Structures are given as C-alpha cells and as structure tokens.
Structure 1
Amino acid sequence: MRIVENDAVQATAWQVDAAAVFAVGWDAEGPMFTWPQSGRILPDGGALIGEFSEGTIYRIAPDGSVAATWGRKGEGPGEYQAFDAILLHGDSILVSDGRLRRITWLSSEGELLSTRSKAGGFLHRVSAITDDGRLLLVPGGGYSAVDEIRQEWVFETQPILSSYPEGSRVDTLAVLPYLRRWYGSRAAPPGAIRVAGAAGGYPGGFAWARADRPEVRWFDASGELTQIARWNEEAEPFTAEFRSRFLDFFAESAESAGRDEASVAAQRMELEENLDRHDGPLPYWDSFFVDRAGNTWTRRYGLPLNPAGEWRIVTRDGELLGWIDLPGVVAILDASDDHVLVALLGELDVSAVALFPIDKGG
C-alpha cells in the first residue's frame, strides 16, 4: 500500500475552460430537461444523457444537436424508470435502472440487445465496469443485487460489491464504515448537515472518502487497499452565520414553491431544532465523484440545492490539486481524459447539461 502525504496544494491545478463545447437544455429549440440523472461522454465528442422525468436517453451530437432519442417512461423492454448509470463497454451501452432493478444492453446505435433483472432492495447502484467485465456496485440509490438485505448495511457499513452482468453471484470486495447521519435512534430523522462516506468506481477499481477528514483511499478491482492520499486542511466551522444562511435559503425556497406562511414557519422551526443537534465543523465536501481514470472530485460543502462552485481534485497518483471553479454545476455526470460532462441549474431551476474541455497544464 502507498501513502501520499500532501503538505500543500500543487500550483499546477487543472483548469476547466469557461466556454462549453455545447450546452443542451436552455435552448427553446432543444429538449427541456427536468432531471438529467446520468450521462456519458462518447468517443466522437458527443454524449448520452438519461432524462429521469421522460425515461428517455438523448444522444447528443458533438455540435450539441439531438442526434437520437431512445426509450420512454415505462416498465417494458427498452423502457426506463431511472438512470443510475449509463456506461460504455466495447461497442455496447449499459443502462442501469435501479427502480426496475434491471440492466439493459443497447448497441452503439441504441438497438435493444438484452435486459436482465437484478434481485434485491434499493441499496446499491452500478458505478463502473471493471477491466475484466464485472459490474462494480457502490452504496447509493439503486438495487442491492442480493436477495438478503442486512440491516447493518443501511446504518453502519458500506459494502462494495461486484457481479458479472450475466450472472447472479455477488462478491463483497470491501466493507467500509458508514458515517451515521441519524441523531438518536434509527427511527429519528436524518441530519440536515450530512456527514457520510461515499465511493465511486472506475475500470481499475474504486475510490472511497469520508466527509469528516481530508483523505481519499483507493482500492483495486479485487478490493485490496492500494493507496491513501492525505493533506492538511482545516475544516470550516459551523457558524451562526452559516446556520442563518441555511435557514433563510430554506424559507426562500419554500416560499417560491408556493407553501403557505404557517407551513414554512413550522418547517423552519423543525429545521432549527435539527441544526441545533449538529456537533462539530462542516463536512469537507458534499459531493464525491470518481472519473474514468480514478481521479476524485469533491465539491466544497454548500447549502442544499445551492451548491458551492468549487471542486477539489486528488489525482489517481495521490497528488492534491487546487480548487477548480464550476459555477452552477449541481452534479458531474462523467469526466474523460480531456472533457467533463456536468448538470447545471439556471434561472427558475431550469436544468441543462454541458460539456467543458479540461486543460491539465501539460
């Protein structure tokens, strides 16, 4: 196992070009996205986007035009309820649907090749296809791929699983700690400020981090710990000013959604009591993403539904890079060697998907 200690942020941080290759969703002539749930950059420079509300996959051409649409909302062959992952494997496309607990294989042109059901509950999601063709499943919304759901998986641990697409056997690669966000009993409501662990896969294995410490861990595809990267960083304190901004943002969002004054006041009081239970500083991040090369992206902790625009990258070699600005980005959908595909939220909460070039400074 390799341990990398970063004393300071490297000066040669990556940069994301401010000019997008394309942006889809804000043009009145194009599709209107409600929730672009998953996406994948294509070798030709275009992208696949899974739109949750329609159950449709959009194939976007390199110029940003819609080249094709596949699927619709439903439960039949070629229909979808959710898009936990859209992955490329050789000349085929894998679509993981956690609500239907099903894997769908498509040709590169969108032709339906096969579907396969996955048993179990809603505990895991497909995150990557390993180099030897296994599905790598990490905790998150989706399916567990096992018949038995263990209670401790929900509250205490995070198993990382693997399974071949055509088989029913499931292997546990690692069991990692889950940072409980419940206050008191398991029946209590979750904390408004979420402190948890998260994992993401890539073809060579998976990476895992926990939001209460400046550290990332990498594992190979067999579940062996191969590297730990650490750095010096003080956590941001949970201040009265942040608490006030949190409450004000909630009230403004609730009012803009049309809730009545009494309802907003009651929910605000409940939220105040929840925030009073939080003990300690803010988490180091609120979103964790692993790209195809195994580099990790973590977003600075911000207000719910109003995320901070700064992302920190730790490379697969354990090198800590500086903050990268991605304003308005609510989620990273995919990142290749030279591009990043993101979901954006604009005025009136209108969603879009954009592809940006990455400059890695040589």
Structure 2
Amino acid sequence: MNRPSTFLVLPFGLFGVFLLAGCGDGVPGTSGTVAVSDSAGIEIVSNPAEGQWDEGQGWRVREVFRLGGVGGPEETLFERPGDMVPDGEGGVFVVEAGEMALRRYGPDGTFLGRMGRAGEGPGEFGSLNSAVALGDTLLALDVRNRRISRFLKSGELLDTRPLELDTSTQGFPMRLIPLADGRLLMPSPQGCAMPPPEDPRAAGRLNVTLPPSPDDHALPVEGPVTRWVDHATHAIYGERICSVRPSLAGHGLALAVRTDGIAAVAPGPDYEIHIFRVPDGAESWSGGALDAFPPPERIIRRAVERPPVTSDDRRDYRESRRPADLTDPMSREVWEAIEAALDTTRVPDRYPAIQELVWDDRGHLWVQRRGAWGEPDGPWDVFGPEGRYLGEVALPEELSVRLIHEGRIWGMVTGEFDVQELVSLEIEGH
C-alpha cells in the first residue's frame, strides 16, 4: 500500500482481538441471497453486500505473538521481509532479503535458525526475491544470480539450478508460485527502459518454468504466457530518466494461485473475480496477449460501493509526488516527467474495489478491499469454496497478509519510521 495510514491497537486484554462478522463453515445464515447463474458454461455467483453468516457468530482473531520493533536481538529485526512459507510444524520460514537469508520461527515466535547468506556460492544469494514450499523442500529465487536453490526444511542445500531466463523479453521475476506438478509461475512486475517504447504502459509479464528434469540441470523458462498493464503505476519518462511510480486510483494485478492450479484474478476495477485453471501448456494461456487470462470457470461478484476519488485526493496525491529539493537538475527533470504523466493520464472517478487476493489452505478466498488515498485498505472479505460471500474480517490496518494456513494468519505490520514487525494471528472458532 502506497498511502499513509495508521495502525490502531484495540484494547482487548493482553492480545489484540478482532472480530469477523460471521461464523465457521456451518449452516449459512439468512443475511443475504446469493444468485447463481450460468452464462455460456461459466458459473456466475452474484453475492449481496451482506454475508451468509448470521450476526453474532463471528470468528475471533487473536494475536499470538509479534516480533520486531526497535532494538532487540538481530533475529527479531526485519529490514526487507518477503514471502512466508509454512514449515510443516506450525511455524514459518520468512524471507529476509536484507540479510539474504531464510529465517525459521516456531508457532510461538521462537527463532529456530536460518539458511543462506549473501554471496555467489552454493546456498548463497545475490538477491533473495521469493521462496515457496514444494513438497518437503523449499525453493528460493535468486534473480541476480539467475538461479533457484532447493533446500530441505531442515536447512540442508539439495541443489542449485540455473534459470534459462531472457530478461529482455521475460523481465525480472520477483515472485515464485508453485504448482503441484513441479512447474513454477513467475510474475515479472512492470518496468521501464530507455529509450521510451511506443506504448509507455510497459506491461508486467507472467512466465512459467517447466518441471525439473533429472537429466537437465537448468530450468527452462517459457513465456511470457500472458502480459498485463499495471494501472496501479505510472511509467515516467524524461530525457535522461525512466521510473515507475504509484498511480492514484488505478487497479493493479491481484492474482492468487493454489498449488492444484486453481487461480483467482481480479481483471478490472469492479468487485469481480475470475476463477480459472492454470493450463497444462504455456501455449494454452493467451498467446502473450495483453491483459488476457484463460477463460474463467466461475465469476464471483459482490455488491459493494467503491470509494470516490475526491478533489482533495487528487491534490494531496500530486503534492506527495513532488520531490523535496527542486533545485537539483535531476529532481526537476523527474518532477517535470511526473507532472506530464499526471496531466495526460485520466484518473478514475472511483478507486478499484479489490486490493489483494489470498487463498487459505481450506479453499477459502480472502479478498482485501481497496481504501481511498490517505486511508488504510479495507477489511478482508472471505468467500467459501463455492464462491459464496461468508463474512468480513477486520485485521490490523497496517497488516500485510503473507500467509493463511492451519488457522493462522501471518504477515508484517509497518509501524512508525517504517519499522517492520512479524505478526501471527490465530483464527478462533474457525
């Protein structure tokens, strides 16, 4: 989230407790009527604003522990935390890109060890961009060294495989998404390059690796299998510079993929989610077409009102983009490029409905609603496996959710002075 906001701690005893307006997956309540229809073989699930759970039967979310802050042991301080991966014993591995290491924490927050360090040798990282679990192993992406390292969860390095990656066409992947058949999806975010392209909306790209072969040491990368324009950013171009900056109210790519290949994507600014299956072959995606994903099997909709973009929002956003020192020639060029982009880019009348999508390990889809400029993003909506809206989650405002697994929510909270804290929440009555 690129907007300033605050984190409110609710005074519920020793730990913060938050309420979910709903209950477990029992008998649906009578709060709203879900309409399910069929259109050309696509199931359309139209949800009302109200959830299916009755009032007063909500899940309770309890803070189990919080690590970080200012001072303390090195293993409790976070500089650039990234992915979180379940360790199979109730704890997590946390990518700490600042340290170039995977840290392991137990269910109670106890530090259990680390694997990896900065370098180019076996088990070392030039950049630690992402990590995922695949079976009983951990895969760690190192874009700088263009390779993927495979570890046992006990910490032993199994092997390191080079990536056959063409960055000129496939970009620089910043995330791994594992599939049960051994393939890896690798999104590459939108970037910019000089000289400016004909279409300044330089698109993000989604690539896929083939399953590893015992006879082939390298991992071939196919793609891009699809591309998308990240409307949540501007590609800024000047005579000597190019940069990607956050936009005011554009929608970005919200994509969540389960290991069984069931994927959810929010293709536009409305509250609409497409559920599709990841194709077996790269050629079955979209042919690399812009903003194209495989045909959905299900479309989930919900009746919500998107926040309006006000004139104050537009003014405050423009002012927030202004460099502090305009006496520097480079800063002036950056500001002139930003102003040119702002003056020529249409700002939507309303903010997009959806900020983020996350699957949990029970097949629920968690959807975070987008907030207005200067406000925190909204609560999380929970949908059952059949696409029915169940209820609403209220989590700490600054919590960036990284993992929902075995009744726990794991994420990072960014506090004052950008101090990072690891937070684990337990879902009670789940």
Q: Normalising to structure 2: TM-score of the pair?
A: 0.68
- Which runs of 5 or more structure 1 residues have no equivalent in the other structure? 143-150
Please, which moves more after superposition, 311-320 or 196-205? 311-320
Q: Shift of the alpha carbon at 1:238? A: 0.9
Whole-angstrom CA distance in 2 between matches of 1:14 and 1:81: 45
Match of 2:308 among 231, 237, 240: 237
1:134 is matched with 183
2:120 is matched with 75
Corresponding letter in the other structure for 1:103: I
Q: Are the equivalent residues in 2 in contact too, given 1:162–1:173 (CA < 8 A)? A: no
Corresponding letter in the other structure for 2:309: F
| Structure 1 residue ranges (4+ consecutive) displaced by more than 6 angstroms after TM superposition | 183-189, 265-270
1:1-362 to 2 correspondence within 5 Å? 1-12=42-53, 15=59, 17=61, 19-26=62-69, 28-30=71-73, 31-120=76-165, 121=167, 122-140=171-189, 155=202, 159=206, 161-166=208-213, 168-170=219-221, 175=226, 177-178=228-229, 180=231, 182=234, 192-193=247-248, 194-205=250-261, 206-222=263-279, 225-246=296-317, 259-260=324-325, 274-275=341-342, 277-280=345-348, 281-292=350-361, 293=363, 295-303=365-373, 307-308=376-377, 310-359=379-428
Highest CA radius of gyration, 1 or 2? 2
Secondary structure (helix, strand or coil) at the match of 2:181 reads: coil
Change (3 A) 1:232 1:158: farther
Q: Shift of the alpha carbon at 1:188? A: 8.9
- Which runs of 5 or more structure 2 residues have no equivalent in the other structure? 1-41, 192-197, 280-284, 286-293
Identity %: 24
1:147 is matched with none
1:145 is matched with none
Q: Are the equivalent residues in 2 in contact too, given 1:211–1:286 (CA < 8 A)? A: no
Whole-angstrom CA distance in 2 between matches of 1:282 and 1:103: 37
Q: Are the equivalent residues in 2 in contact too, given 1:312–1:324 (CA < 8 A)? A: yes
Q: Are the equivalent residues in 2 in contact too, given 1:36–1:352 (CA < 8 A)? A: no
Q: Are the equivalent residues in 1 in contact too, given 2:205–2:224 (CA < 8 A)? A: no
Instruction: Give the number of equivalent residue pairs.
Output: 345
Aligned-residue CA RMSD (Å): 3.8
Change (3 A) 1:102 1:162: closer
Q: Shift of the alpha carbon at 1:162? A: 4.9
Whole-angstrom CA distance in 2 between matches of 1:169 and 1:308: 38
Q: Normalising to structure 1: TM-score of the pair?
A: 0.79
Whole-angstrom CA distance in 1 between matches of 2:224 and 2:338: 38
Q: Are the equivalent residues in 2 in contact too, given 1:216–1:228 (CA < 8 A)? A: yes
